[in-house]
Amino acid sequence: MKTIDKSIKIQELGELAKKGFGDLVKAVVDVKSKSMVIDVEMHADAEAELLRNGSKQDDLWGINLYPELYPDSGWIEFNSMINLRPSQGNRTRGVEDAHLREAIVQIVNELVIK
């Protein structure tokens, strides 16, 4: 588990993927603090870490990163059980709000560098 609040190189992300799931790295993005926790077995683990460090539940969204697809648009996948939030109007494992998805993409693209 690693907290990213400055930057991480795509090469390092690729190495984490190979050591873990093979092609992907699970991550949870805090849209308020513009940080993320990566390299976890379950999104809930990253979510718990962020909550312990002061993040608010409403600001946390689970994603999967596919380093080999970087920088194509498909390298970020919105699919996590922690995203199921009917109280916030999100009724799927994705992120239904287009503006929120774009904010997450922007944060991830700022944190992951060549």
Condensed to tens digits (0 to 9), the pLDDT of residues 62-104 reads: 999 999 999 998 999 999 999 999 999 999 999 999 999 999 9
pLDDT score, position 73: 85
Mean residue pLDDT across the chain: 97
- Cβ count near 60 (within 10 Å): 25
> 49: domain range?
2-113
pLDDT score, position 77: 98
**Domain count of the fold of the chain:** 1
* CA–CA gap between residue 56 and residue 46 (Å, rounded): 13
Q: For the whole model, what pTM was predicted?
A: 0.96
pLDDT score, position 53: 97
* CA–CA gap between residue 37 and residue 45 (Å, rounded): 9
CB contact set of 12 (below 8 Å; sequence gap of 6+): none
